[in-house]
A = this chain, B = another copy of it.
Amino acid sequence: MKGKIGFVGLGIMGMEMASCLLKADYEVTVYNRTRSKAEELLSLGAKIADTPSMAAKGSEVVITMLADPGAVDEAVLGRDGVIGGLESGAILIDCSTVDPVTSSKTLAAATETGARFLDSPVAGSKDDAANGNLILMVGGDKETLDDVREVLDVISSKIIYAGPSGSGTMLKLCFNLMVSHMIAALGEALVFGVKSGLKPELILDTIMAGRIAAPVYEWKGNCIIDRDFSTKFSTKLIHKDLNLILSAAYSLDTPLPVTAAVKELYALAKARGLGEEDFCSVVKVLEESAGVKIAR
Chain A contact residues, CB within 8 Å of chain B = 100, 123-125, 135, 137, 158, 160, 162-164, 167, 170-171, 173-175, 177-179, 181-182, 184-186, 188-193, 195-199, 202-203, 205-207, 209-216, 219, 239, 243, 245-250, 252-265, 267-268, 270-272, 286, 288-292
B205 and A216 contact, CB distance less than 8 A: no
Report whether A258 and B252 are in contact in the complex, using a CB–CB cutoff of 8 Å: no
A171's partner among B179, B186, B193, B272 (CB-CB below 8 A) is B193
A216 touches B211 (CB 8 A): yes
B124 touches A290 (CB 8 A): no
Contact A211 B214 (CB under 8 A): yes
Contacts of A207 in B (CB 8 A): 175, 178
* Cα distance A72–B124 in the bound complex, in angstroms: 40
How long is the Cα–Cα vector from A203 to B163 in the complex, in angstroms? 12
Sample (30) of A-B pairs whose CB atoms are under 8 Å apart: A123-B206, A123-B210, A160-B202, A160-B205, A160-B209, A163-B197, A167-B197, A171-B202, A174-B206, A177-B188, A178-B207, A179-B212, A181-B258, A185-B185, A188-B258, A192-B249, A192-B259, A211-B219, A212-B214, A212-B215, A213-B215, A253-B267, A253-B270, A253-B271, A253-B291, A256-B286, A258-B265, A260-B261, A267-B289, A272-B289
Given A210-B175, A212-B179, A212-B214: A254 in contact with B167 (beta carbons within 8 A):
no
Question: A199 contacts which chain B residues (CB < 8 A)?
Answer: 163
A250: contacting residue among B174, B243, B252, CB under 8 A? B243
Contact A191 B257 (CB under 8 A): no
Chain B hits for A219, CB < 8 A: 211
Residue contact B185 to A171, C-beta cutoff 8 Å: no
